[in-house]
Amino acid sequence: MTTRVLIDTDPGIDDAVAILYALASPTIEVLGITTVAGNIGIERTTRNVGRILALMGREDIPVHAGAAAPLARKGFDVADIHGSDGLGGVDFPMPAVPPRDDAVAFLAETLLREPASEVVLMVLGPMTNIARLFQQHPVAARRVSRIIAMGGALRDKGNIGPRSEFNLAADPEAADIVLGSGLPIVLIPLDATRQVRATAEDCARLHAAGTPQAVFSARLIEAYFQNTTVTGPGAESRPLHDPCVMLMATNRELFGVESTGLAVDLGTTRDAGAITPEISRMLVLVATEVEGRAAVDRLIAGLS
């Protein structure tokens, strides 16, 4: 069966690999893509979505720019990881179709037009657009089938603060709204995504596959290696965080999940955005385990 999706994203190297996989998948139908400032600012993240669609010949898919800043605080700049253009300097074609504005209105209009409980929201960046959807268009938001989001660190250490992960730390207030919404949510934290790791051998497999989505994914992952320095265990591989969202939709059997309520740290310390189990909160499914090597193999197969 085909999963019909809206993707909210801030590309970003691993976001780009995730989107390429979704566009290549015969079981995912992308209805539209919305952007959030996230990694490198709204102009570049929006342009990068257009570049990805241009590569794949899918500029028929609407792109709408969304939040340029978090709901209530300053965002982050991680160009040192993703490169100044967000795509590690990989030379994607420039888009021929300009993006549109007002991502939240587009999400609402699409959800109201499509059958209720049919569209999945795939959230690859900070949750600002999704929180605004709940605030401004609550009836439309309730028509979502489920939300699959990458974010947080349940028991693992964080990647921005001791316990905080980038996507949730970039807009803790938005994460608090979404995770407390009561909608069916699958959250994929660093606990799981760090188990899905690409190696140089995986890049060689992607190059050998020869499809545009495989070759450009290989180049993106190679840029990830060049832009990040890791020593000790894990130095020979890099985690593929955001593709886990798409893999959860297409290969659910690879993941182990647990059901829990989550509180979001709304403070101003380095742990802002950190999540902790909270029994009084609405339950969400949290992916804590994944068959990492099998997930990478499925990803490569989909891109090939």
Work out the number of other CB atoms within 10 angstroms of the CB of residue 41.
17
From 21, 70, 5, select the one nearest 42 (Cα to Cα): 70
Q: Are strands 146-150 and 119-123 parallel, antiparallel or unpaired?
A: parallel
Q: Are strands 275-277 and 185-188 parallel, antiparallel or unpaired?
A: unpaired
Which has the closest alpha carbon to 147: 158, 159, 166, 134? 134
* DSSP state, residue 296: H
The beta strand positions in 133-193, using DSSP E, are 146-150, 185-188
Q: Which residues contact 8 (CB under 8 A, 6 or more apart)?
A: 33, 34, 35, 36, 66, 103, 107, 121, 122, 123, 124, 125, 129, 130
CA gap 292, 300 in Å, rounded:
12
Q: Which of 64, 82, 137, 241 is catalytic?
A: 241
Which 3 state secondary structure label does DSSP give 24?
A: helix
User: If we measure between CA atoms, which residue out of 80, 98, 96 comes closest to residue 88?
Assistant: 80
In 3D space, the residue among 40, 82, 45, 94 whose CA is nearest the CA of residue 65 turns out to be 45
CA nearest neighbour of 133 among 162, 109, 164, 168: 109
Mark whether 241 is an active-site residue. Answer: yes
CA distance 95 to 42: 16
Q: Identify the residue whose tokens are 């969202």.
A: 245
Q: Which of 286, 232, 243, 184 is nearest to 9 (CA)?
A: 243
Token pair 């978090």 is found at 70
Active site residue ranges: 241
